[in-house]
């Protein structure tokens, strides 16, 4: 075994159906008395429920979280937190809402209690992202890591089928890339394999019954592990491609992950054979890339970049951008091979190693 460094992110996790009932206890354990509750406009009812549970421990609701944290919404949320004298942010929702909490914490170091309702995994990372003038800046900062995470699978019962599938694949992408990360280690690989297994296994029962609480619990447990991998090691080609496509062509986050992952794994396959073996094993498939492709198609994920709004004349620019700045990846970034990968993803063709 090679030498390694493992940096564990210290956060407290409260997991289980109905675990939202522990919210007030968890706020007290943080020593907070004035919580600002965050959500998207679509989830304001959840934010109101949380505020009601907190009673006088809640000082307000800011229900204006939107995808990719525009700087204007970050500023408005920071102002609101300051105006109300908030001493903690409670983020109930997906990665967009957690991201808004992180934007507040980045400036104020306000502790975040996250209540995730998707499988994006942001609650387990110290990665923040803010979009200004159409460009999304990201970074890592220990202040934005949520101190406490309440994973209550009951809150995911309402996640529509399409988002359930793409969000699970988004989670699997974190773990799959963590498996071959240049700074990976055996502990992260364990979490990654179990995260992929639990996430993938949840999809079949959720297909027939989206309100299957056991399967929802497995998917959220998988998302926790996959998010922990994302928070622990560096991501490679897949995340770079998704960031480029999402940022430059305004494509939806989880859908891009679902389309690109099989192709990114195929690109790296021969350069990370051990990782591919473990990913395939976790999926119960013979081949990692093909296994993800089949899983996505079987459960109705978008079939191609074309289907989610990628313009055909953007593929050259996307390949240029993806090949432009070097970063660690098992296989070197070859512009022609990346262009071919993007074409297959655009067409919805099966992955080719
Ligand atoms: P999202 O948070 O944008 O949510 C999408 C929509 O689904 C929203 O309208 C939301 O209100 C709704 N929704 C969420 N949970 C629901 C539920 N249980 N039932 C019904 N509707 C629900 O989507 P996301 O995929 O979770 O997050 C995407 C964002 O998170 C992107 O901006 C991405 O870059 C970011 N992200 C960041 C990290 C990180 O570590 N910083 C990690 C993953 C994702």
Q: What is the DSSP string of 125-137?
A: --EEEEEETTEEE
Q: How far is the CA of 178 from the centre of ligand 1 (A)?
A: 21
Residue 60, strand partner residues: 36
Averaged pLDDT for residues 73-93: 98
**Does 315 have pLDDT greater than 90?**
yes
Q: What is the pLDDT of residue 228?
A: 98
- Nearest CA-CA partner of 278 in 215, 200, 207, 337: 200
Dihedral pair phi/psi, residue 114, rounded to 5°:
-105, 140
Whether 26 contacts 152, CB under 8 Å: no
Q: How far is CA 125 from CA 95, 141, 286, 301, in A?
A: 11, 9, 31, 25
Centroid of ligand 1 to alpha carbon of 167 (angstroms): 8
For a mutational test of ligand 1's pocket, the pick from 116, 122, 195, 229, i.e. the residue with the most ligand atoms closer than 8 A to its C-beta, is 122
pLDDT band at 2 (very low <50, low <70, confident <90, very high): confident
User: What's the pLDDT tens digit per position in 51-82?
Assistant: 999 999 999 999 999 998 999 999 999 999 99
Q: Check: CB of residue 29 under 8 Å from CB of residue 240.
A: no
Give pLDDT tens digits for 204-217. Answer: 999 999 999 999 99
Question: Per DSSP, what are the bridge partners of residue 35?
Answer: 58, 88
pLDDT confidence tier of residue 1, bands split at 50, 70 and 90: confident
Distance between Cα 94 and ligand 1 center (Å): 3
Region 306-312: what's the mean pLDDT? 97
* Residue whose C-alpha is closest to residue 262's, from 344, 157, 167, 142: 344
> From ligand 1's centre to the CA of 93, what distance in Å?
7
Residue 230 and residue 152: Cα distance in Å, rounded?
A: 21
Could you tell me which of 230, 167, 223 has the C-alpha nearest to residue 195?
223
Determine the residue of 94, 137, 143, 223 to mutate for testing ligand 1's pocket, defined as the one with the most ligand atoms within 8 A of the Cβ atom: 94
pLDDT at 258 (0 to 100): 97
Residue bearing the CA closest to ligand 1, atom 40: 122
Q: Positive or negative, the Cα torsion across 169, 232, 36, 70?
A: negative
Tell the residue number behind the tokens 């098992």, with chain if given: 330
Phi, psi of 136 (to 5 degrees): -95, 120
Ligand 1 centroid to Cα of residue 96, in Å, is 5
Mean pLDDT in residue range 123-133: 94
Cα 351 to Cα 82, 211, 257, 292, distances in angstroms: 49, 32, 14, 10
Percent of the chain with pLDDT over 90: 93
Give the pLDDT of residue 332. Answer: 96
How many CB atoms are located within 10 Å of the residue 327 CB?
12
Nearest CA to ligand 1 atom 30: 95
Domains identified in the chain and CATH numbers: 12-156 (3.40.50.1970), 161-347 (1.20.1090.10)
């Amino acid at each position: 075994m090679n030498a390694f460094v493992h940096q564990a992110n210290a956060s407290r996790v409260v997991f289980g159906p109905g675990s939202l009932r522990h919210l007030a206890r968890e706020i007290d354990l943080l020593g907070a008395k004035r919580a600002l509750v965050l959500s998207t406009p679509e989830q304001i009812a959840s934010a109101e429920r949380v505020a009601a549970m907190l009673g006088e421990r809640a000082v307000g609701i800011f229900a204006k979280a939107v995808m990719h944290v525009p700087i204007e919404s970050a500023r408005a949320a920071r102002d609101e937190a300051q105006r109300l004298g908030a001493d903690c942010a409670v983020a109930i929702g997906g990665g967009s809402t957690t991201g808004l909490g992180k934007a507040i914490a980045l400036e104020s170091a306000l502790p975040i209690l996250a209540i995730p309702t998707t499988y994006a995994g942001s609650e387990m990372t110290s990665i923040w992202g803010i979009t200004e003038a159409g460009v999304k800046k990201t970074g890592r900062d220990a202040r934005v890591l949520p101190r406490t995470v309440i994973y209550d699978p009951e809150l995911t019962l309402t996640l529509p089928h399409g988002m359930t599938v793409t969000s699970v694949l988004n989670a699997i992408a974190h773990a799959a890339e963590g498996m071959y990360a240049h700074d990976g280690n055996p502990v992260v690989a364990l979490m990654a394999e179990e995260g992929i297994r639990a996430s993938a296994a949840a999809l079949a029962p959720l297909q027939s019954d989206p309100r299957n609480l056991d399967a929802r619990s497995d998917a959220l447990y998988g998302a926790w592990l996959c998010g922990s991998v994302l928070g622990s090691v560096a991501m490679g080609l897949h995340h770079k491609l998704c960031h480029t496509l999402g940022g430059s062509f305004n494509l939806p986050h989880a859908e891009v992950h679902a389309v690109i992952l099989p192709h990114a794994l195929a690109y790296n396959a021969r350069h990370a054979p051990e990782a591919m073996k473990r990913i395939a094993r976790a999926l119960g498939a013979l081949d990692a890339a093909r296994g993800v492709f089949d899983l996505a198609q079987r459960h109705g994920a978008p079939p191609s970049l074309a289907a989610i709004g990628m313009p055909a004349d953007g593929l050259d620019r996307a390949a240029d951008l993806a090949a432009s700045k070097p970063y660690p990846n098992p296989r070197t970034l070859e512009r022609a091979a990346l262009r071919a990968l993007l074409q297959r993803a655009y067409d919805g063709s099966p992955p080719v190693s």
